[in-house]
Amino acid sequence: MKKEQYILIVGAVLLVLVIYFFGKTVPPGKETSASAATSTQSFDIQTAIKAATAQLPTHQQTYVNGLSQAVVRGDVKAQQIATYRQLASFWSDSARAFLPFAYYTAEAAKLENSEKSLTFAAQLLLDNLRGVEQPEIKSWLAGESKKLFEKALELDPGNDSLKVGLGSTYIFGAPAGDPQEVMKGIQQVLEVSRRDSSNIYAQKMLGIGGIVSGQYDKAVERLEKVARSTPHDLEVLLMLAEGYERLGKKDKATDWYKHAAEHVENPALKSELNKRIQQLR
């Protein structure tokens, strides 16, 4: 399977989830121009939020603008946190636009400065970072996630899950063609794995990082361990199939694609996986 084909399948899985929960923030007629602009301009979250706000119905624009002004005027931290959370809730539940939701969730967490809120926001950005193709947006998500993990680690320096999360921002947020950033992240996660080989989160990130960096033998070994512990993790199943296919082990690749197909409900995605299974036979 070509790398592009695999990315299409995994990306489609993540895209379906994102669209299901957050919808689309760009009207169909504007998608082409928006995509073109993204490829030539650096990403600015405030510009993205303004563009998303402009597409809302008038009454929702009034609501959002009112809350945004309240943040600027508010001089009490608790008031600012509450307003950021209101904005995050609106963009998640009503507008279903992920980037504004992520931004306001992150800003609220920074102000609150609790390990719980910082970890939640950092993980939210990291999880969605892995399904993003646009390099500018990927870079923004990775940068924000790093800051949040670092702030959380200041509060709990010995937390291995936070260390794995921070390393993962390098693995998945590295610019295309920059293997040094990927390896930097892998080394950070390895530090945790060497201390605790039973840390499934670390094994998963190392396994996926191994697939990303082309270290397939070690990657599938780690991912099989993860799959035994979490047999319903679709991403792990797809990565195992990809790893074995890259190693030329078609029978094993087919088995893992079958396992993955069993966990996909979307008809189009299931069809793509079944086609791939037939091609490998």
List, for residues 76-90, the tens digit of each pLDDT value. Answer: 899 999 999 999 999
Angstrom distance (rounded) from CA 7 to CA 56: 32
- The conformational region for residue 130 under phi > 0 = left, psi -120 to 50 = alpha, else beta, is alpha
The alpha carbon torsion through 209, 18, 91, 154 (nearest 10 deg) reads -20
For range 104-132, the mean pLDDT: 96
pLDDT of residue 29: 37
pLDDT of residue 4: 38
Contacts of 87 (CB under 8 A, 6+ apart): 64, 67, 68, 71, 100, 104
pLDDT of residue 212: 82
Q: The pTM is what?
A: 0.80
Angle, CA of 57, 61 and 62, to the nearest 5°? 120
List, for residues 221-232, the tens digit of each pLDDT value. Answer: 999 999 999 999
Closest residue by Cα to residue 69 from 86, 54, 52, 55: 86
For range 220-245, the mean pLDDT: 96
Structure tokens at 228: 């035994």
Write down the domain spans for the chain: 197-280
Structural contact between residues 68 and 45, judged by C-beta atoms closer than 8 angstroms: no
Q: Which CATH number fits domain 197-280: 1.25.40.10, 3.40.50.720, 1.10.287.70, 2.40.50.180?
A: 1.25.40.10
- Coil/strand/helix, residue 181: helix
pLDDT of residue 41: 55
